[in-house]
Amino acid sequence: MSALTSRDVLRPGPTGFKAWAQRMVFALMPYFFAFLRRWKPVMKMGKTNYLTSRYDDVREVFATDPVFGVVYKPHLDVIMGDQPFFLGMGDTPEYRHDTDAMRKVVRADDLPLLAARTEAQAEKIVAEAGGRIDVVDTLVRRVTFTMLGDYLGVPDPPGGDLRVWGTRLFEFQFVDQGNDPALRKEVDEIAPALRMHIQNEIARRRIDTGNDDVLARCLALQKAGDAAYSDDFIRTSLMGFIVGGPPQPPMVVPQAMEQLLRRPQVLAEAQAAARADDDARLRGYVFEAMRFDPLAPGLPRVALADWTIGRGTSHATVIPAGAQVLAAFASAMMDPRRVADPKRFDPDRPASDYMHFGFGLHECFGRHINHATLHLMLKPLLRQPNLRRAAGKEGKLRKSGPFAERLVVTYG
Partner 1 sequence: MRQTTLSVALEVKPESYDHLSSLLDRLRNRRSTDPSGGEGPFADFLTRVPALHFMSLSVFPGFDYDPLFVIEANFDGARGPFWAQLESAIGPDLRLMLRCCKRPLDNDGPLFDSIVAANARAPIAPYLERRALTPTVYHHGNRGMTRDRILAEHALFEATRVELRCANVDGPNPYRVLSPSQIHAKLRAALLPGFGWLDHSAPKRIPLADNIADWARLIGFVIAAVFALSIPGLILSLIMPTDRYFILLAVAFLGFAAMLGKIGVALPGTGVATRFSFLKLFFQQLLPLVLFVLGYLVIAVAIGTPISMLFTARSFDAAWHGMITWLLWGLACVPVTVAGIVFWLRVLERGDASQDAPPVDPKMLREMARREDWIPQNHMGSIVLIKPGILRMILIRAGHLGLGLVLRIVARQGYLGSMRTIHFAHWAMVNNKSRLMFFSNFDQTWESYLDDFIEKAHAGLTLAWCCGVGFPPTRFLVKDGASHGRQFKEWARHSMSVSRFWYSAYKNLTAEQIERNFRIAIGLRKRTLSDKDAALWINDL
d(CA 218, CA 79): 21
Residue 64 as a binder of partner 1 (CB under 8 A): the answer is yes
Contact characters 322-361, partner 1, x per CB under 8 A: --------------xxxxxx------xxxxxx------x-
| Closest distance of CB 378 from partner 1, Å | 22
d(CA 7, CA 24): 29
Element (H, E) at 90: none
List 11, 37, 59, 163, residue binding partner 1 (CB under 8 A): 59
Q: How many CB atoms lie within 10 A of CB 296?
A: 16
**Which residues is 404 bridged to in the sheet?**
399
Q: Which of positions 115-144 make contact with partner 1 (CB under 8 A)?
A: none
Selected range binding partner 1 among 21-29, 41-49, 62-70, 113-121, rule: CB under 8 A: 62-70
Identify the sign of the CA torsion 341, 342, 343, 345. positive
Residue 55 as a binder of partner 1 (CB under 8 A): the answer is yes
Q: How many CB atoms lie within 10 A of CB 315?
A: 16
| Closest distance of CB 196 from partner 1, Å | 41
Q: How many CB atoms lie within 10 A of CB 8?
A: 12
Instruction: Using the minimum distance from each CB to partner 1, give the nearer residue, 83 or 313.
Output: 313
Residue 315 as a binder of partner 1 (CB under 8 A): the answer is no
Residue 109 as a binder of partner 1 (CB under 8 A): the answer is no
Q: Do the beta carbons of residue 307 and residue 316 sit within 8 Å?
A: no
Cβ-based neighbours of 161, under 8 Å, separated by 6 or more: 6, 7, 9
d(CA 267, CA 258): 10
List 48, 99, 138, 313, residue binding partner 1 (CB under 8 A): 313
Residue 311 as a binder of partner 1 (CB under 8 A): the answer is yes
| Closest distance of CB 392 from partner 1, Å | 36
| Closest distance of CB 88 from partner 1, Å | 21
> Torsions phi, psi of 129, nearest 5?
-80, -15
Size of interface with partner 1, in residues (CB under 8 A): 26
Residues that bind partner 1 (CB under 8 A): 55-56, 59-60, 63-64, 66, 308, 310-313, 316, 336-341, 348-353, 360
